[in-house]
Amino acid sequence: MRIGNRKGILALALALLLLFSCASAQAIGIREFAENCLTEVLGYTADEIKDFVFETREDGVLAYWPKEHPSWVYTTAYKNNVPLDSTTPFDTGYTGFCGENAVRELLRTMKEKGWISEWSEESKNALLDACQENNVRISTEMYLSESAAQGLQGFFESCYGPAAGWTDALFELRDSVFAESGLTMEESPFHVPGVRRISRRNIYQSDLTRTYTLFEGEYPDELKAAFSDPHLTGWTCHSGALSFDESREKPGKGTGKGLAAFEKDGKRQLTQLSCLNGQWTINPLGTNAVYPTGDYRVTYDLQHNAFAVQYRLNDDETAAFYLSPNQAKREHSTLCSTVINSYERVNRKTGEAVWIGLYGSGMPTWNKELPLDEIVANFPRYLGVIPITEFPTTLEGARHSVFPGLPEGYVYSGGVNLRTQRSSRSASHGVLNAGTLLPVLERLPGDPSEWIRTKVGFLEGFVVETYVGEGQTQTARLSALPVAETAKEIALKKGTGLFDGTVQALPAGTKMHVIIENGDWLYVDVPREEIGFLMDVDGTFGYVRKADVTFLSIIPGLDWAE
């Protein structure tokens, strides 16, 4: 997909309503309308627009550009002398775009105050403060820039998004600013050993300070206890990233999350980090969560507002998985998991880019016009439960992707009663936990929704079609079933009654998916082999006492690497 030359539509309606509240656009004429756009909306000075060339085209479009930059073509379409819409040559579709007028004002301020020409840590911080005041979504690279050239490139990417989505005019603007500043482009290095930190006020909670920590080859002191876990014996930390929210009233006692990659004897594994009251803990995401070969790093991308595992495919091309470590609170435990938001591959030399998301993962920051149905993959959203090497990395692959391991003819529960009859007033076997797989034995009419006759283990009944998911386009939403483990040998029973028989004995350490929770009893599915993310539809079903098992805190199948 070539995106480097795309020009989007600039939305001017609100600004123009304020500008022309007392006079219609018809009264002032199309050219004067365009001149007002340039000064009041796009940030040009009155002297600068004196050098603009204006050209009226036969198709009802007024085109205009600076005389010295004929490729910087703005347009205003009109009909019957009424303006309809306008375009700018610098629109990249970046959803974090702060406004072209803000960019021009910041460029003028940079020059006047010497922030670039007299680069220092003080001038960089002044530029960062000015960007934040103008609602610029500041990139990680700009925060961590160590030279004027890196800071200036970071500024443009912060304002306009990743360079893969830039227009030719925007590249020309960037190059002209570099030339005027006497600078040469400098690529930010892919690997930076050591520990680096970025602190900023939390925009949602003003009493919190959020600190991002990036580390490579070594790790920060606050992780020493977590990294002493016996499972990590012999493993070396490659890289990682943390996000930590600290309250001003309780320094050091905040909450946080993060990711860290480890290596041992040519193998890799990814881990999830969680912090509560200043204490960091670690959980496995396994060897499935990271590519087994190739150059890579773990970082935090402030423009995507997500953690990322980035891969350097060659000198010009990089790929990244954007990730969100989560802690889902449940009645019995805290479920630790990391969700895949999206995949992105960018070639800086050709301008070609690919973005593939999962359900509910939003859109890419640099090209908001991609149609959603073309870029959503059918893949488990939980990182590590399926090898990440199976994730489709082309748009064609994403369109035809099939959720790995989902049985044909099954739907999955979103949390719904398993009724004994086709009525919401009938008795219930209990509420099926979200993620339960159900065979569709029969579809029957209902009001207002259909009923599905199904069977899970030896419990047969009916579920309302509205509360189940089906079809490969929905499976990225599939939830993880709770998992419990026996602490001692117990009996798997046929029912909850005193005289109900035993299905089989369960040794200590037996893991099972919890299908229904009914008071003191659990209806469970014991898999035939090692427990995985999906329940075993041909496993052994029965009841166990809740008091006889322990709920686990991680997604099933995410184990420590040996």
Tell which wins on pLDDT, 401 or 286: 286
Give the confidence band of 81 by pLDDT, cuts at 50, 70, 90.
confident
* Domains present along the chain, CATH in parentheses: 9-87 (no CATH), 100-180 (no CATH), 194-399 (no CATH), 413-467 (2.30.30.40), 483-551 (2.30.30.40)
Averaged pLDDT score across all residues of the chain: 87
pLDDT at residue number 281: 93
Distances, alpha carbon 521 to alpha carbons 402, 463, 540, in Å: 35, 21, 16
- How far CA 182 is from CA of 77, 116, 119, 384, 496, in Å, comes to 38, 10, 12, 47, 80
pLDDT digits (tens, 9 = 90+) for 272-281: 999 988 899 9
What pLDDT is recorded for position 554? Answer: 82
pLDDT for the residue 121: 93
> Is residue 247 pLDDT above 80, yes or no?
no
pLDDT of residue 3: 33
pLDDT confidence of residue 44: 94
Percent of the chain at pLDDT > 70 equals 88
Q: Percent of the chain scored above 90 by pLDDT? A: 62
Please tell me the predicted confidence (pLDDT) of residue 333. 67
Is the confidence at residue 284, as pLDDT, over 60? yes
Beta bridge partners of 419: 428, 462
Please say if the pLDDT value at position 9 is more than 50: no
Q: Tell me the C-alpha distance between 534 and 136, whole Å.
A: 42
Which has more pLDDT, 1 or 534? 534
| Residue 17 predicted with pLDDT over 70 | no
Mean pLDDT lowest among 85-99, 157-171, 224-238, 375-389: 85-99
Report the pLDDT averaged over residues 53-78. 93
**463 with 425: CB under 8 angstroms?**
no
d(CA 50, CA 104): 17
- d(CA 323, CA 335) in angstroms, rounded, equals 16
pLDDT at 332: 65
Q: Which pLDDT value is given to residue 327?
A: 77
CA distance 106 to 102: 6
Beta carbons of 383 and 270 less than 8 angstroms apart? yes
* Number of other residues whose CB lies within 10 A of the CB of residue 31: 14
* pLDDT per residue as tens digits for the range 130-145: 998 888 989 999 999 9
